[in-house]
Chain A
Amino acid sequence: MDSETVERLLRLSALELDEDARARLVRDLGRIVALIDEMQSVDTEGVEPLAHPLDAVQPLRPDRADPKVDRAMLQQGAPATRDGLYLVPRVVE
């Protein structure tokens, strides 16, 4: 775990840290990676990945629309809205 990797992870995660916190993080992530590497010695040859503990199948929803959308309530706690739109600093395309 090096500061370059941490930099990349911060960017991917849209997070930022000051210098001190970043140094601590390099150390902590190093320890965490050491911990998770403990599974590397398990022989998993030929074992299928398991994404869900139950062997269940995706249920399907009937295609019916519920037109009731209470925008006022959904936007009550929104940090910045105007004319029903959520506002963000200008998006450059």
Chain B
Amino acid sequence: MNCKDIEQDLYLYAELSAQERARVDEHLKTCTSCAGLRAAIELSEKQIHALATMPIEAQHAARLTRKIMDGIASPEVAESHHGILNSMIRTVSIKYACSALSIGLILLFGVQFYNVPNQPFHQESEGATVVIHSSSVRQAFTKVRQANLASIPCRSPFRSEMSVRNCLLNKYK
């Protein structure tokens, strides 16, 4: 066994089997260079171990526990509608039903979309179109004007909204 072969074992001494350790120990007895390296490794292992044994604790352990428990759904929330809904959604059968319903709706939409009959295009003469449009606009305008005219006597800056409304109601009665 040469020193190069054993170098990795010197760093992984704690992970070696008893047999491997015995082999390394045997080498260390005769090789001062490897024994020196092993001593240096042991020193750094001690320093690392000192760090490993330093206590590390959360400053407010109880607060952290509360934070964790708040993070998961509380029993009250679980019993609420939201909780029940969530648990229902989690159920596999409901998931399948929702999926089937979604697919059904998509198919229905597709069928409806393609079944819409093509509307024949009615070509009106330009004059007729103008007549239809102008009459409908005139009718609407007349209605608005009549309504405005009817409301004029009732309106006054000195009257309350309620009295204006009563006035209008009486008028139309």
Chains A and B are bound partners: no
